[in-house]
Amino acid sequence: MSTDSRRSAERPQRRDRRRSSAPGQRAVDPLTLLAFGIPLLTVALLATVNPAPTEEAAQPPTATPLTNTVLVCPPALGGADLVQAALADTDVAGALRTGGKDLTLSAGSVATRRTSDTLLLRGEGPTASGLAAARTGGGLATDCLRPASDVWFAGVGAGPEHSSVLRLVNPDGGPAIADVVVHAAGGIREVPALRGVAVGARDELALDLAEVMPEREDVTLHLRVTRGRLASSIVDRVDPLGSDERATTWLPAVAEPATDAFLPGVRRGGGERTLVLTNPGDDETRVRLKAVTPESEFAPTDLSEVPVPAGATVTVDLGRFLRSQAAQGLVALRVEADAPVASLLRSRDGNRLTHAVAAALLAESGALAVAGGDQRLVLAGAEKPSNVRVVQRAADGTALKELRVTVRPGQGTRLELAARARWVQVLVGDVPVVAALEAGDTSVRPVRELVTDSWVPHVGPALY
């Protein structure tokens, strides 16, 4: 039917509807009523609803005291079966839940428990804020750490002479999943077994990397948790073929890749000294090394720039330099690059194995539970003069001598700590620094920021 025919067929029907209306009245189309009525009714209903808050990006988050936390202590290694825990606030006492008998914290003191198993320390209310713990013994030590969703481990081994075991602990009641990216000598290596690694509720998983992904050269792992929470740790082993000098210790995580990083806790000495550098970027970068001493910072003349291909991990033998007179008084290495790199220095002398890692800057305060005895604090990395206080406490909470030092740009310092100290806290002024604890010649641990607050985003009413 043509358009004109359809129009002519429709007109009589409209005329009929108009004729059916009462005289003097104007007909109202029901569709018109619905078109106006439904939006008005919707607005009226929404006016009675309490809008859900939404995060406001323009407002900075607010710091509130931490009320719930968990620290995960890995299983014992060697004779390190002692777990120590304490709070920064010396006026707070309470208990930490462990899944068994609670660990009681007296005000100011350092609580201890001997166990070889993985131990979870849960702080609630006043015992959550400013909690630090460590596993120590037999000259070895490692921190008990909070679950983290993005972690870097440099200088990992997966070969017959240098191998590492990655341990993942899930502290929660639901499953957790992680992906592990492997940066090898030839670039990123695809390892299907490290994609979608699942850890059941309140369970743990140990992965021997020499079995999962055999690799003769050092690699760097980038662990990203995609579901749930995981605490990660690595045990590092160097076992030269034909030798009985096997060395084993924990491998600390490194700070995220950066163009300017400091590795505190490096000293002059013999043995094997291997610098590990990883470039996670898409383009080659070049790395420059500087030595940091209490007097100055300098570029060693016999250490040239190091090219690091995209996605790759390279190693540099620093044994000759670190045995030379030029390394006298050394406290840290500075690693500068055109693009972000991850870095670590592995030192092995017989059965002693230590790692000096790129450390994150301390913005306010860092703390460690320590074993006592021969121990030193190394500070470096200040962009401007930084006034630092070092608070020490004995096991019973007794305050020991407080140390004060100014860390200057281009310089570092090494402070002798009290042999009785079981708690060491680094309080930083306005200028951040990096710090590490040296225990004898068998352990180097980075000092991490002390967690006292949780950050809550600013929220406001949702707009409809």
Domain assignments of the chain as residue spans, ordered by start: 62-142, 259-355
Q: Quick one: what percent of the chain has pLDDT higher than 70? A: 85
Is there a contact between 442 and 354 (Cβ–Cβ < 8 Å)?
A: yes
Look up the CATH superfamily of 259-355: TM1070-like (2.60.290.11)
Greater confidence (274 vs 6) lies with 274
Mean pLDDT value across residues 81-87:
98
Question: Which residues have a Cβ under 8 Å from the Cβ of 23 and sit 6 or more positions away?
Answer: none
Start-to-end Cα distance in the chain: 47
Structure token pair of residue 166: 């990655």
pLDDT of amino acid 9 = 39
- The beta strands (E) that lie in 360-431 are given as 365-369, 375-380, 386-393, 403-407, 413-416, 423-428
pLDDT of amino acid 427 = 98
Is there a contact between 229 and 171 (Cβ–Cβ < 8 Å)?
A: yes
Mean pLDDT value across residues 48-68:
65
pLDDT of amino acid 59 = 66
Do strands 119-124 and 140-143 pair parallel, antiparallel, or not at all (unpaired)?
Answer: unpaired
Q: What element of type H or E holds 360?
A: none
pLDDT of amino acid 62 = 75
Closest C-alpha to 71, from 96, 93, 91, 105: 96
pLDDT of amino acid 330 = 97
Alpha-carbon distance of 353 to 251, in angstroms, equals 10
Alpha-carbon distance of 447 to 381, in angstroms, equals 13
pLDDT of amino acid 61 = 72
Q: How confident is the model at residue 33 (pLDDT cuts 50, 70, 90)?
A: low
Mean pLDDT value across residues 288-304:
96
Mean pLDDT of the chain: 89
Question: Using one digit for the tens of pLDDT, what is the confidence trace for 322-373?
Answer: 999 999 999 999 999 999 999 999 999 999 999 999 999 999 999 999 999 9
pLDDT of amino acid 48 = 53
Q: Is 447's pLDDT higher than 70?
A: yes
Closest C-alpha to 230, from 152, 164, 192, 177: 177
Q: Is 434's pLDDT higher than 80?
A: yes
Q: Is 52's pLDDT higher than 90?
A: no
Cβ count within 10 A of residue 228 = 19
pLDDT of amino acid 411 = 98
Least confident of 63-67, 87-91, 186-190, 445-449: 63-67
> What DSSP designation does 202 have?
T
Is there a contact between 386 and 457 (Cβ–Cβ < 8 Å)?
A: no
Alpha-carbon distance of 432 to 332, in angstroms, equals 16
Alpha-carbon distance of 186 to 64, in angstroms, equals 45
Q: Is 10's pLDDT higher than 80?
A: no
pLDDT of amino acid 38 = 63
User: Three-state DSSP class for 274?
Assistant: strand
Is there a contact between 303 and 369 (Cβ–Cβ < 8 Å)?
A: no
Question: Which residues have a Cβ under 8 Å from the Cβ of 77 and sit 6 or more positions away?
Answer: 140, 142, 235, 248, 249, 250
Mean pLDDT value across residues 451-462:
64
Question: Which residues have a Cβ under 8 Å from the Cβ of 226 and sit 6 or more positions away?
Answer: 177, 178, 179
pLDDT of amino acid 29 = 62
Alpha-carbon distance of 1 to 244, in angstroms, equals 100
Alpha-carbon distance of 257 to 153, in angstroms, equals 11
pLDDT of amino acid 382 = 98
Q: Quick one: what percent of the chain has pLDDT higher than 90? A: 81
Greater confidence (26 vs 243) lies with 243
Alpha helices in 145-258 (DSSP H): 209-212
Q: Is 14's pLDDT higher than 50?
A: no
Q: How confident is the model at residue 65 (pLDDT cuts 50, 70, 90)?
A: confident
Greater confidence (46 vs 426) lies with 426
Q: Is 151's pLDDT higher than 50?
A: yes
Question: Using one digit for the tens of pLDDT, what is the confidence trace for 374-406?
Answer: 999 999 999 999 999 999 999 999 999 999 999
Query: Which class for 173: exposed (0-12), middle (13-18), buried (19 or more C-beta within 10 A)?
Result: exposed
pLDDT of amino acid 4 = 46
Q: Pick from 50-64, 231-245, 383-397 the range whose average pLDDT is largest.
A: 383-397
Alpha-carbon distance of 274 to 306, in angstroms, equals 13
